[in-house]
A and B are shown apart, each in its own frame.
Chain A
Amino acid sequence: MAKDLVNTLADLKEQEAIKIAKDRLSAGEDPLKILEDAKKGMEIVGQRFASSEYFIPDLVYSGEILKAVTELVKPRLTKTAESKKLGKIVFGTVAGDIHDIGKDIVVFMLDVNGFEVHDLGVDVPVQKFVDKIKETGAPIVGLSGFLALAFDSMKETVEAIKAAGLRDKVKVMIGGGQMSDEIKNYTGADAYGKDAMAGVTLAKKWIGAS
């Protein structure tokens, strides 16, 4: 019988994946191992997205399946299952903009890929970003914005980080609706990500380099 959670999740077979997780739990298997397999499945999802085999709905659906499996497993975890995190990231949709779907997808993918993400939500005032960077010591900042007004908020946020003497301690990535090198230069960010996996790749590159 196929107990392959990794590929069942990667293939987005929702009912099968949940059943496998349930069966393995009933069989007394270590819940942590089940969670690890689920995350391995998510890595494959991420790779398929990066190679344009999967698209946004597949990412969102895989997130739902992972959530269902995690909910089954969590009550059975006997100790704090904190796997070592790759690094900290402060993330948020900039001041004046309340769009969250894109941000949530990127935050989710970063989390699944081993980052400790501090998601500040939407319409985040400039100072809140600065305060969180100071508090967490995060080396990476992600600024999301969908509307054109976000360009100025991103620029102001980067300037505030600089004014706080933190600019050389962080790498800033931006993303959202209307991104380009022109916008990146205008805002003073280090890079822009055109989609969730680009954001993950950037974060891994920056963490590896630091």
Chain B
Amino acid sequence: MEKKWEEMTSDEKQETLFQRWISAEGVKFASPEAEKLYKERTTRFKNALQLKTLPDRIPVFLIPSLAPAYYAGLTPHDVMYNYEKITPTWKKFYMDFQPDAHGGAFVPSPGKFLEIVDFKLYKWPGHGVSKETTYQCIEGEYMRADEYDFFIHNVLYFFNNVWPSRVFGALEPLGMLPHLAGVTEMYGVSLPFIPYGTPPVQAALKALMEAGNEAVKWIGAAGAFGMEIIAEGFPAYQVGVTKAPFDVIGDTLRGTKGIMMDMYRQPDKLIAAMEVLMPTFIKLGVDSAKQYGCPLIFMPLHKGADGFLSDEQFKKFYWPTFRDIILGLVDEGVVPFIWAEGGYNSRLEVIQDLPKGKTAWLFDQTDMARAKKTIGKVACIAGNMPMDMLTVGSTQEAIDYTKRLIDVCGKDGGYILANGAFFDEVKWDNLRAIVDTVKKFGVYK
């Protein structure tokens, strides 16, 4: 009799999620060939990740940002404002290049939605940057230095009301709404609702409804990609995203400068705030994995890269809560696919302290040979096709670099070849050559 989820070990949970993912129950494949490709690709990926069985060959991933738009001769603005273009554009990219997995088509967020909510955290094509260029982040201090105590004791309220009121211009009035924990009796029940009767709050609620309608319109178009691409035999390399608490605070709440100052001026509060975030961000990953029946949850890392923190600061501030989130995910059978953006050369020894066969690490500017010898002993490593090779290098250089990566990282499995950083407009022949080279030279005999 099948065990209940709560009774399973973490190994059993991981295996269960992998089997659900490989079986693709309910999926109608476009052809027997597509189904065969899907089963081969998922199995190949599973073997590369678990470090138990050697895969048939090295898996190859292409992880684009808005590249599919440029490839189709469109601009980022085109795909962010014309949702019906997203699915065919993203599908063409993957069908033409035939990597072993896809990353979904949610990179082009709906432009009109962003306008309705008046998103302040980014500039996007036609709205602060040209239509031909990608969106860009504008960090700010969306949580003040003196708000740590409030944040720690009111995390969910902060994320539901305070933070949105600061990063979404149209939702500013939400910052004045009281939470309803005080409504316990008939006495005074209507008092917290009075703000909802005022024009500014009502305008914000109206904007929320419009935004919701726009989001529904967008998912109807962009969501179709997931169904269509799996039917063609492509598994997803992630079904959800979560983050390290230091990045949650550093990227979206305090900004780079803010969190750096906090390390010196209020280290204990910063640590307490990160600890308070942990259950939420573990749950985020676990829920997505269970909902989509796939163990892979993406974790992009930002502010712990080489140079951004000293070794002591990484060990004191970045690693502990990050590691606890990884372990919380692993306990529930999830495989965190971690993207160490920038360089992680000075972190390789620290991050080795993880259980074997439970995580995957995608590297950018890290020395891949050193990564193989350190974190590569306990985790699948991926990467690191560099940006200059994709954008300005010759095709032969790209082929040679790919072969070197195969030699250095491919030994004994546990390796996926992929690009090191998100890419937009690159030399398409180089991409093609990279995929072909892995398929030709990355086979395990």
Q: How far is the CA of A182 from the CA of B389 in the complex (A)?
A: 8
Task: Say if the beta carbon of A64 comes within 8 Å of chain B.
Answer: yes
**Contact status B123-A98, CB under 8 Å:** yes
- Residues of A near B133 (CB, < 8 A) are 96, 147, 149
Task: Say if the beta carbon of B313 comes within 8 Å of chain A.
Answer: yes
> Would you give the shortest CB distance from A147 to chain B, in whole angstroms?
7
**Contact status A98-B138, CB under 8 Å:** yes
Contact A149 B309, CB 8 Å, known A178-B386, A178-B388 = no
| Interface 9-mer from B102-110, B257-265, B274-282 | B257-265
- Residues of A near B365 (CB, < 8 A) are 178
**Contact status B388-A195, CB under 8 Å:** no
Task: Give the total of A residues in contact with B, Cβ under 8 Å.
Answer: 27
**Contact status B310-A57, CB under 8 Å:** yes
> Would you give the shortest CB distance from B270 to chain A, in whole angstroms?
12
Chain B residue at minimum C-beta to C-beta distance from A55:
B310
Q: Which of B130, B265, B389, B393 contacts A96 (CB 8 A)?
A: B130
Task: Say if the beta carbon of B423 comes within 8 Å of chain A.
Answer: yes
- Residues of A near B425 (CB, < 8 A) are 148-149
Q: How far is the CA of A123 from the CA of B123 in the complex (A)?
A: 12
**Contact status B392-A57, CB under 8 Å:** no
**Contact status B136-A57, CB under 8 Å:** no
**Contact status A148-B310, CB under 8 Å:** no
Chain A residue at minimum C-beta to C-beta distance from B133:
A96
Segment 7-25 of A: residues with Cβ below 8 Å from B: 12, 14
**Contact status B308-A98, CB under 8 Å:** no
**Contact status B421-A149, CB under 8 Å:** no
Contact pattern, A 70-89, Cβ under 8 Å of B = 1, otherwise 0 = 00000000000000000000
Chain B residue at minimum C-beta to C-beta distance from A53:
B310
Q: Which of A58, A60, A101, A182 contacts B393 (CB 8 A)?
A: A182
**Contact status A98-B391, CB under 8 Å:** no
Task: Say if the beta carbon of B251 comes within 8 Å of chain A.
Answer: no
**Contact status B313-A55, CB under 8 Å:** yes
Chain B residue at minimum C-beta to C-beta distance from A179:
B388
**Contact status B388-A183, CB under 8 Å:** yes
Q: Which of A14, A60, A64, A186 contacts B392 (CB 8 A)?
A: A186
Task: Say if the beta carbon of A99 comes within 8 Å of chain B.
Answer: yes
**Contact status B136-A147, CB under 8 Å:** yes
**Contact status B391-A57, CB under 8 Å:** no
Task: Say if the beta carbon of A97 comes within 8 Å of chain B.
Answer: yes
Task: Say if the beta carbon of A164 comes within 8 Å of chain B.
Answer: no
Contact A61 B264, CB 8 Å, known A148-B423, A178-B421, A183-B388 = yes
**Contact status B129-A96, CB under 8 Å:** yes
- Residues of A near B139 (CB, < 8 A) are 101
Task: Say if the beta carbon of B332 comes within 8 Å of chain A.
Answer: no
Q: How far is the CA of A177 from the CA of B137 in the complex (A)?
A: 14
**Contact status A149-B386, CB under 8 Å:** no
- Residues of B near A178 (CB, < 8 A) are 365, 386-388, 421
**Contact status B388-A101, CB under 8 Å:** no
**Contact status A56-B307, CB under 8 Å:** yes
Chain B residue at minimum C-beta to C-beta distance from A183:
B388
Contact A101 B257, CB 8 Å, known A96-B129, A96-B133, A178-B421 = yes
Contact A151 B261, CB 8 Å, known A54-B310, A57-B310 = no
Task: Say if the beta carbon of B256 comes within 8 Å of chain A.
Answer: yes
Q: How far is the CA of A60 from the CA of B263 in the complex (A)?
A: 12
**Contact status B392-A183, CB under 8 Å:** yes
**Contact status A101-B392, CB under 8 Å:** no
Chain A residue at minimum C-beta to C-beta distance from B392:
A186
Task: Say if the beta carbon of B134 comes within 8 Å of chain A.
Answer: yes
**Contact status B309-A151, CB under 8 Å:** no
Segment 243-270 of B: residues with Cβ below 8 Å from A: 256-257, 260-261, 263-265
> Would you give the shortest CB distance from A133 to chain B, in whole angstroms?
24
- Residues of B near A64 (CB, < 8 A) are 261
Q: How far is the CA of A177 from the CA of B308 in the complex (A)?
A: 13
29 A-B pairs within 8 Å (CB atoms) are namely: A14-B264, A55-B309, A56-B308, A57-B309, A58-B310, A60-B257, A61-B264, A97-B136, A98-B123, A98-B128, A98-B136, A99-B136, A101-B139, A123-B129, A147-B134, A147-B424, A148-B387, A148-B421, A148-B424, A148-B425, A151-B391, A178-B386, A178-B387, A178-B421, A182-B388, A182-B389, A182-B393, A183-B388, A186-B388
Q: Which residues of A contact B (CB under 8 A)?
A: 12, 14, 54-58, 60-61, 64, 96-99, 101, 123, 147-149, 151, 177-178, 180, 182-183, 186, 195
When A and B form their complex, which 5 residue pairs have the shortest distance between CB atoms, in order from nearest? Answer: A57-B260, A178-B387, A182-B388, A186-B392, A55-B310
